[in-house]
Amino acid sequence: MENAITLANQVFIMFLIMLIGFILYRKKIVAERTADDMTTVLLYIVTPALILKTYQKAYVAEDAKKLLSALLLAIIAMCFGIIISFLSRIASKKETADVEQFAACFPNNGFMGIPLIMAVAGTTGVFYSNTYLMMFQLAVWTFGVSLLQKANGTKFTPKTVLKLFANPTVISVFIGLACYFLRISFPKPITTTCSYLADMNTPLAMLVAGMLIAKVNLLGSFLRLRNYYIVFLRLIVFPICLIGLFLYLPQPHDIKEYILIVTSCPTATNTILFARKFRRDVETASQIFALCTLSSIITIPLIIALFEWIA
C-alpha cells in the first residue's frame, strides 16, 4: 500500500504542475506553439538523457535476468492492450473509431509513466520499465500507424516504419542497453549533463500536458458520453485485466508493479499528434486525452492499491 500512497502524492504534485501549464496557456502567457516546442525538447533531449542516465549502472547478473523478465511482461502487456483496444469499436462511429482505438490502446508511458516510476522506485524502476517504452514505440509505429494512415492513403512500408522508429527515445534505449551489457561508462561530465537534463523530465512533461489540455474544449470532453467509455477501457478495464493476468505469471512482484504503473497511465499524447499527422478527428483525440489525463489522477493510485492488496 506504500507505493499506492506515494503514487497518489506524486500524481497530485503532477496535477498541480499541469494546472500551471493550463493557466500559462489560457492566460496567453506562453505562445500557442510553446507546447509543441517543449514537446520536441522532451522527445529529443530530456527523455533520451534520462534513459541514458538510467542505464549507467554496474552490470549485475540478477538485474539482467530481471530486465529480461520485464521485457517479457512488456511484450505481454502491449499485446494484451492491443487486444483490449478492439472493445473500443463497439457501437463506434466510422469517422472516430480508429482514433478511439488508438486512445484506448496506448498509454502515456513516457511523459507520465517515467515520472511516476521515478517517484516510486527511482532510476531502478525506470531501468526495468523502459522495456515497455521499447514495445510502445514498436507498436505505435506499426499497429498504431496502420490504424490511422488508412484514411488519407499514406503508404505504409517497412522502410517508412524504420525511418519513423529511428527516433531519439528508442535510439537512447538501445545505446543505454548496449552500454549496460558491454559495461561502458560515460565520462563524468556527460553523466552529470544527463542527470541535469533528466531532472527536467517531470516538470516539463506536466507543463506540456497542462498546455495540451488547455487547448481542448473541456466542456465538450465532459459532455460527450462516448469519451467516458474509452477512458473506462484505458484506465479501468485494461489495468484490472492485466492484474488478473499478472497473478498467474511467475515474474518478480516489483517488475510486475513497474509495468502495471506505466500501462495504467492515461492515453498517450501521440493520440493528438498522430491524429493531426494523419488528418483524423483531432477534436475527439484531444477530448479523450484531456478527460483521461484528469481521470487518471484518481484511477492510477487506486489500481496500484488494488494490485498491492491482491498480489
DSSP per-residue string spanning 236-264: IIHHHHHHHHHTT--S-HHHHHHHHHHHT
Residues with Cβ within 8 Å of 171's Cβ and at least 6 positions away in sequence, in order, are 48
pLDDT at 278: 81
CA gap 26, 213 in Å, rounded = 10
Q: Which three cell numbers stand for residue 305?
A: 492499491
pLDDT at 98: 92
- Say whether pLDDT at 157 is over 70: no
pLDDT at 91: 86
Identify the CA nearest to 109 among candidates 273, 297, 267. 267
Contact between 248 and 306 under an 8 Å Cβ cutoff? The reply is: no
pLDDT at 102: 95
Contact between 84 and 103 under an 8 Å Cβ cutoff? The reply is: no
pLDDT at 82: 94
Residue range 248-285, pLDDT digits in tens: 999 999 999 999 999 999 999 888 888 887 888 888 99
pLDDT at 32: 80
Across the chain, mean pLDDT equals 87
CA gap 267, 101 in Å, rounded = 10
Terminal-residue alpha carbon distance, the chain:
11
Q: Is 183 left (phi over 0), alpha (psi -120 to 50) or beta?
A: left
Contact between 210 and 21 under an 8 Å Cβ cutoff? The reply is: yes
pLDDT at 152: 56
pLDDT at 276: 81
Q: Which residue has the higher pLDDT, 164 or 236?
A: 236
- Say whether pLDDT at 103 is over 60: yes
Query: Residue 59: pLDDT band by 50, 70, 90 thresholds?
Result: confident
80-89, 93-102, 173-182: segment of lowest average pLDDT: 173-182
Decide which of 3.10.450.350, 3.20.20.150, 1.20.1530.20, 3.20.20.450 is the CATH code for 2-310: 1.20.1530.20
Identify the CA nearest to 70 among candidates 206, 251, 244, 220. 251
Tell me the C-alpha to C-alpha distance, in Å, between residue 154 and each of 94, 196, 229.
18, 39, 29
- Say whether pLDDT at 104 is over 90: yes
Residue range 28-55, pLDDT digits in tens: 898 888 888 888 888 889 888 988 888 8
Contact between 51 and 113 under an 8 Å Cβ cutoff? The reply is: no
- Say whether pLDDT at 238 is over 80: yes
- Say whether pLDDT at 153 is over 60: no
CA gap 42, 227 in Å, rounded = 28
Q: Which three cell numbers stand for residue 106?
A: 496506448
* Domains in the chain: boundaries: 2-310
pTM: 0.87
Residue range 171-205, pLDDT digits in tens: 888 888 888 888 888 999 999 999 899 888 888 88
pLDDT at 215: 87
CA gap 54, 67 in Å, rounded = 13
Q: Name residue, grid cell 499497429.
A: 143
